[in-house]
Structure 1
Amino acid sequence: MGQLADGLDKAVHKAFTRPIPTSAGARMRYLVRQMKSTKAAAQQLGISQRTVERYVKNKIKTPRKDLAARLEGEVTKRWQPQIRAQAKQKAATTHGIVIDTRARFGYTAAPGSTDDARLRHLTVALPPTYAARLFEARDQGATDQQLQTIAAEALQETYFRDGGRRAGGLLVEFTDVEHIEFDL
C-alpha cells in the first residue's frame, strides 16, 4: 500500500467506536469468526491451520513480529465494517475530508508567473465530491499515483483556484510527498 491509501485507511479507523482486540488469541478468534474457518484464516495469514487453532485456544500467546503485523492488519481490515461504511458515506455526502500535507507543489501557469516547484505545508478541507472520489478509487484498488492525481486535482480546485474564483488556467503538480494525513 502507498502513503495516500494508508492515510485514507487511518482516517476511517479514527471513526471506530471500539478498539480492535489486543491479545493475539482474541484477534485470531475474531479473524476465524470473520473468515468462517481456521483453514481460511491460516491461508490468509500464511501459517498452518494447527497454529491458528493453538492461538484460538490460547496455547500460543505471543506471535512473531511479522505474524503479529499480518494478524493486526487482517483484523483491522475487517473491524467494524458498518462504522467504516458510515464514516465513508458521511465524508462522501455531507462533511468532506481534511487533507494535511507537506509536499512539493509546482504550477503550469501563464508566462511571467512564479511556477517553480517548492515545498508547502497545506491543511485544506476538501468538499464531499473529492472525498467520494478518493474513497471510491481506494476501494477499487487504485495505485498511490492515481490517488495522488485525485488529491492534486482536489487541492488545485479547492485551494489554488479557490473554487474558480482565481487562477483559471493554473495546473498544479503535486510531488515529493513528505507527509500526508487525512481526517474525516
Structure 2
Amino acid sequence: MSLASTSVVQALDIADARHWTRKPPTRPEARLRHLLRAQTATTLAPRLFCSPQALTRWARGDTADLSAANAALIEREIYRTWQPEVRRRAHRQILQHDGCVIVQLQARFAFTTTSGEFHDPRLRRLTEELPAAHASLLFHARHEDAGEDDLRRVLADGIGEAYFFRALPPHQQQAAATITDLHHIQFHY
C-alpha cells in the first residue's frame, strides 16, 4: 500500500502497519480467507464492490476475473482489519507514555470564528504534533470505526489547537478550523 494517502482512515492504517507483529497474507485468496473468517461474504461484498459469489470464488483460488481495483480494495480492507489488538495496544502505549503523534499534511482549511466563516485558498503544507487529548480522540474514533468526516473533524481540531490558534488570547479560543480539501496526509508515531 502506498505511503501517501488522501484519507485519514487510510493514513492511520498505514501508520498502524508499522506496529504489526507479523505481516498479513500477500496473496488475494489468502487475504480473502482471512477476511471471510471475521465476516460473511454478504457483509464484505459491498465494501469490495463485488458480489458475494465472486468473493467465495476468489477465496477458493479462482482469481481469473479479479481486477486490479478489486485487489487494491482487498488490500485496503486487510490494512483496516489486520491485528486489531496489536493496534489498540500500540495506541494505548503511545498515549500512556506521552508519545507524540505527528501528522504531516497538505490541505486547505476554513476557519470559523464569532465573526463568521473564512475559507483560506492557500494549500498549506504542515507538520505538527497533535495535542495528547486530540490524539486520544483520534485513536478512539478510529477504534469505533468512525467515518472519514468525523476523523477529519477531530484532526482539524487538533491542528487548529497545535498550529493555528496556539497564539490566540483566551477570549478568542472559540475559533475552529475545518479541513476543506485534503491532498496528502501521513501519520508518524
Three-state SS of the structure 1 residue aligned to 2:123 is strand
Unaligned runs of 5+ in 2: 1-5, 46-50
Residue 64 of structure 1 corresponds to 66
TM-score by length of structure 2 reads 0.70
Check conservation: 1:99, 1:126, Cα contact below 8 A: yes
Residue 8 of structure 2 corresponds to 4
For residues 152 and 96 of structure 1, what CA distance do their matches in structure 2 show?
17
Larger Rg: 1
CA gap of 1:7–1:146, structure 2 versus 1, over 3 A, is same
Among 33, 50, 53, the alignment partner of 1:29 is: 33
The RMSD of aligned alpha carbons is 3.2
What aligned pairs does 1:35-184 form with structure 2 within 5 A after superposition? 35=39, 40-41=40-41, 44-45=44-45, 46-48=51-53, 52=56, 55-56=59-60, 58=61, 60-62=62-64, 64-65=66-67, 66-93=69-96, 94-105=98-109, 107=111, 117=120, 118-162=122-166, 166-168=167-169, 169=172, 171-174=175-178, 175-184=180-189
Unaligned runs of 5+ in 1: none
CA gap of 1:41–1:107, structure 2 versus 1, over 3 A, is closer
CA gap of 1:62–1:53, structure 2 versus 1, over 3 A, is closer
Three-state SS of the structure 1 residue aligned to 2:56 is helix
Number of residues of Structure 1 aligned to a counterpart in Structure 2: 170
For residues 70 and 7 of structure 1, what CA distance do their matches in structure 2 show?
15
User: Displacement of 1:77 after TM fit?
Assistant: 3.1
User: Displacement of 1:19 after TM fit?
Assistant: 2.3
For residues 89 and 12 of structure 2, what CA distance do their matches in structure 1 show?
14
Residue type of the alignment partner of 2:102: V
TM-score by length of structure 1 reads 0.72
For residues 139 and 30 of structure 2, what CA distance do their matches in structure 1 show?
29
Question: Could you tell me the percent identity over the aligned residues?
Answer: 29
